[in-house]
Structure formats: C-alpha cells, structure tokens
Amino acid sequence: MAWFTIPVENLLCRCLCIFITVWLTLLIVFIMVPAVLGISFGIRRLYMRTLLKIFEWATSRMEMGAKEKNQQLYKPCNGIIAKKPPTSLQQDLKELRGSASCPRSEPQFEMADIFFFCRRGVESILDDEVTKRFSSQELDSWNLLTRSNYNVRHISLRLTVIWGLGVLVRYGVLLPLRVTLAVTGIGLLVVLTTLLGFLPNRELRFSLSEKIHLMCHRICVRALTAIITYHNRENKPKNGGICVSNHTTPIDVIILANDGCYSMVGQVHGGLMGMIQRAMVKSSPHIWFERSEVKDRHLVAKRLSDHVADKTKQPILIFPEGTCINNTSVMMFKKGSFEIACTVYPVAIKYDPRFGDAFWNSSKFGMVYYLLRMMSSWAVVCSVWYLPPMNREEGEDAVQFANRVKAAIAAQGGLVDLIWDGGLKRAKVKDAFKEEQQNLYSKVLLGEQDERDLGDDQH
C-alpha cells in the first residue's frame, strides 16, 4: 500500500504549506502593513461590536436560567452598608447625648460617645473608599471569562459550549497570534533603534526615530488587540511640556505612545526591560534613572527641568500616582512633577471593563502572568481624553496645582477623585489623622467643660 500513503503525505504537506502561507499573508496584510503605515481597516471595532452582542446574549441566558430555578442572579453591589450622609462630629455627638434620659450625668456622656466612634470604626472596616480601589472592579454582565463570573450555578449547557469555544479561540488562536506580534514589535524596536543610533545626522535620526517608535507601538497595540478611542486630539501634548495621566497598568504607556512620541521616565531595569531601555535611548532622549538617583529628588527635578527646557525634545510622560489603581478612581498625585515650571498636559484614560480587566494588581500576580492574562482576554478597550493644557497659577503651590489637575482628570474620565495616597497599597496610614480626630473630640468636650465649670462656680 506504499503508493497510497505517499500522495496522502504530499497532500498533507501541501495543505500545511498553503495554510501557513495564507495565514502569514493575512497577518502581513491585515496587521503589519496597517501598523507600519498607520492606517486601520476597522476590523477590531467590528470584533468589539460582535463581542458585545455575544456578552449580552450570555447574560440574558444566565438571567433566564436563574429565573427558571427561581433564584436570584448575584449582582455585585456597590456597598455592603447604607452609610448615613456625612455629618460633623459635633452634630452626631449631640444626637447621641440627646437620647440619654438623665441630662446631667457626665459618665453617661463619655460612655455613650464610645458608641459613636465604635460604629464609625466598624463602618470603615466594612466599606471604605480606599481598600476597594486596590482590587479589580466588579462587572454587571458576564463577559465569558471565568475570571469574572460569580453566577457559576446558572450556566446552561449552551452557555458552557459557547464558553468552551471562547476558551479555544482565546488560547488557541488569539494568544499565539498576539505573542508573535508582541515579539515582532519589541524585536523590531530594539533592532531598528540600535541601528538608528549609528546614523550621524541628528535631524534624520530624530524624524526616523519618531516613525520607528510609532510603528512599533502600533504593532504592540495590535498585539493586545487594543481598541483605543482618542478624544480631543487638538490638545495633544507638545514639545517642552509634561504629560500626566492616571495609572492603571503598564500598558498605559503603549496606549499613549501609540498616538504620539513621548519621553519616558523611569528606573533603569536589568534583563529584557533594560535592553529595551538602552535601545530606546540611543535614538531619542528618554530619562532613565539609576536606583540610587531616584531618592535624590533634586537630581530628578533637575534632569526633568533640563529636558523640558529644550524645546526640541518630546514631552515627558509621567504617572504622578506612583502606582497602579483599579481605574475607578484617581488617587493623590505626587507633587514632584508639578514643581517644574512648564505646561502640564493632563490625559485621562478609562478602560472598558467588559472586555478584560486591565488593572495590574501587582500584589496578586507578576508582570509575565499579567501580560499573559491581558493577551488571553478578549480585547483591551479604552478611551483616551486629551485635556486642555494647564499652567500653575499665581499663588498656587505645587500641591494645589496637582489637586486641580487631578480633579480635571477625574471629572473627564468619570472616576472618583480621592485625596488618599496610592502608596497606601503597601504602607500604613500616618498617625496624624488619628490625632486630628482626637483634637476635634477634645474641642467638643472642652465646650461642655466650660459649661460645667460655669455651673460649678455658682455653688
């Protein structure tokens, strides 16, 4: 039967060859060429709309399933407790004391006051504004990822099949494709920027470097299937300014660099990151700090100022929060970048959580796991708003300016504006806050004390 097997093998080989050729052609035509040229066929948006329809269908199936079994679909709620509207310490204490039957007794007041603080304390343990920002946001509808499903009981057979298909598509088709693209993008970046470093002509080097950076970032964006909508592009950051933005994930950098060239600021790393950094700096002026220099704030400020003063250099990209927040709020901006005298261009980035959770919870998983998660989600959909440039006004200090910028970013992105420091993810709160409350309570008591003293004097 030898004559039978050889043609089959030939056939198999030929099929495989054709398959690979077609695959590569599609890849190059639909992904690489648009990336290089900076055009878009709109395939990703079509993909996004299809996905949304599927998600809605999946959620409605689950609701039907829940109704059949006469149970309720668990929807993650905004809070555990109903908080009273915030009132001042004085008002609350008056209310508390008012209910005591014996009006004069001192000890009764003191002991009753404990209730107030006790209840407030337990309320903060149950629901506070900050701790929930450091874990992923919860979703209303199911997006066919087991990571974000709470209603495991209500999945019917049909849904399970669709989910299985989803897994196959995501891990079998999308993930390898994306990994290939990412590797290509980074590889091209390193190679081309190194080559460019050898060019003697500065002008040529500059313009070419811009094109290369943009191209490689576009490839990386396609590697993540990121569907980005830029708003108000007339406000894009210009040379000699600083661009500030809220920080959710390291991918923020790629998303912003997709649309313009920025100088990055960061610590010098080792390994692959270090190699990329060294390559990038050969063709355009990025600011990388040694670990030891980061602590020296004056040195940092000087380098930033020097860069900004040179109007031919690109705008600097800084994330003043200092850490990743889960994209429902904006936390305290560190004032360092606002002390430099130049124009600040605020940018707000908001991710759509229905397609994949972009937040990098660095205490839960490391960088590589995070990237794999990102590449095996459906897509990364986000909106970027360029806000009008801001300058520090007369009589405004760095902190006030930072807060003003933060409020603008929060308002645009629909995020909650918090005063708390993102560093609280890892550090504890200072005792100064507790002392403030103690002072306040003492003042209230002192008021009472005065009344009592007056009363005593009359005896």
Partner 1 sequence: MGASQTRAEHQYQDLADKTGFSFEQIKNLYQRFQQLSGNEETISRANLDSIPALANNPIRKQIIGAFFDKRNQHQDEVGSCDQIGFEQFLMVMSHFRPPNLRTTDEEKEAMRKEKLRFLFNMHDSDNDGTITLAEYRKVVEELMSKSGEIGQETAKAIADAAMLEVASINVPNMGPEEFYEGITFEHFEEILKGLEMESRMHIRFLDVDTSTMRCGKSQS
Q: Which of residues 69-108 bind partner 1 (CB under 8 A)?
A: 72-82, 96, 99-102, 105-108
Helix (H, G, I), strand (E, B) or coil at 151: coil
C-alpha to C-alpha distance for 294 and 22, rounded to whole angstroms: 50
Return phi, psi of residue 88, to 5°: -80, 165
Residue 336 · residue 294 · CB < 8 Å: no
Q: Which of 395, 446, 453, 459 binds partner 1 (CB under 8 A)?
A: 446
Q: H helices of 83-201, where?
A: 89-98, 106-126, 157-168, 175-196
User: Does residue 245 bind partner 1 (CB under 8 A)?
Assistant: no
CA neighbor of 225 nearest in space, from 426, 422, 30: 30
Number of residues that bind partner 1 (CB under 8 A): 76
- The residue within the footprint of partner 1, chosen from 17, 18, 126, 173 (CB under 8 A), is 126
Site string for partner 1, 34-73 (x = CB under 8 A): --------------------------------------xx
What 3-state class would DSSP assign to 225? coil
Q: Which residue number, 103 or 395, has a Cβ lying nearer to partner 1? A: 103
Q: How far apart are CA 359 and CA 366, in angstroms?
A: 12
Residue 3 or 433: the one with the smaller Cβ distance to partner 1 is: 433
* Type of residue found at 261: C
First CA to last CA across the chain, in angstroms? 123
Among residues 117, 163, 288, 289, the one that binds partner 1 under rule CB under 8 A: 117
Looking only at residues 294 through 353 of this chain, which bind partner 1 when binding is defined by CB under 8 A? Answer: 328, 352-353
| Near partner 1 by CB under 8 A: residue from 12, 29, 37, 122 | 122
Stretch that binds partner 1, among 124-132, 176-184, 191-199, 212-220 (CB under 8 A): 124-132
CB 277 within 8 Å of CB 269: yes
- For partner 1, which is the closer residue by CB, 8 or 77? 77
User: CB-wise, 15 or 161, nearer to partner 1?
Assistant: 161
Nearest to 370 by CA among 286, 259, 252: 252
Q: Which stretch binds partner 1 (CB under 8 A): 232-240, 263-271, 275-283, 445-453?
A: 445-453
Interaction mask 374-413, partner 1, x per CB under 8 A:
----------------------------------------
Q: Report whether 246 contacts 417 (CB < 8 A).
A: no
Q: Are strands 343-351 and 380-386 parallel, antiparallel or unpaired?
A: antiparallel
Under the binding rule (CB under 8 A), the answer on residue 428 touching partner 1 is yes
Structure-token pair, residue 441? 């309570």
Interface with partner 1 by CB under 8 A: which range of 169-177, 262-270, 375-383, 422-430?
Answer: 422-430
Nearest approach, Cβ of residue 347 and partner 1 (Å): 19
E strands, 263-368, where?
263-267, 287-289, 316-318, 329-330, 343-351
CB 133 within 8 A of CB 127: no
> Which of 367, 343, 347, 169 shows the shortest CA–CA distance to 269?
367
Q: At what angle do helices 432-457 and 106-126 cross, to 10 degrees?
A: 160
Region from 209-217, 237-245, 270-278, 423-431 binding partner 1, contact rule CB under 8 A? 423-431
Span 216-235, contacts to partner 1 by CB under 8 A: none
Work out which of 62, 113, 385, 409 binds partner 1, going by CB under 8 A: 113
Task: State which residue, 153 or 269, has the beta carbon closest to partner 1.
Answer: 153
Q: Specify the residue, 59 or 337, whose C-beta has the smaller distance to partner 1.
A: 59
Among positions 128-187, residues that touch partner 1 (CB under 8 A) are: 128-132, 135, 137-140, 152-153, 155
Contacts of 201 (CB under 8 A, 6+ apart): none
Nearer to partner 1 by Cβ, of 291 and 430: the residue is 430
**Cβ proximity of 319 and 337 under 8 Å:** no
Q: How far is the CB of 450 from partner 1 (least distance, A)?
A: 12
- Report the residue from 87, 90, 239, 449 that binds partner 1 according to the rule CB under 8 A: 449
In the complex, the smallest distance separating the C-beta of residue 260 from partner 1, rounded to whole angstroms, is 26
| Partners of 380 in beta bridges | 226
Please list every residue from 249 through 288 that binds partner 1, using CB under 8 A: none
Q: How far is the CB of 291 from partner 1 (least distance, A)?
A: 26
Interatomic CA distance for residues 134 and 363, integer angstroms: 9
- Cβ closer to partner 1: 142 or 206? 142
Helix (H, G, I), strand (E, B) or coil at 264: strand
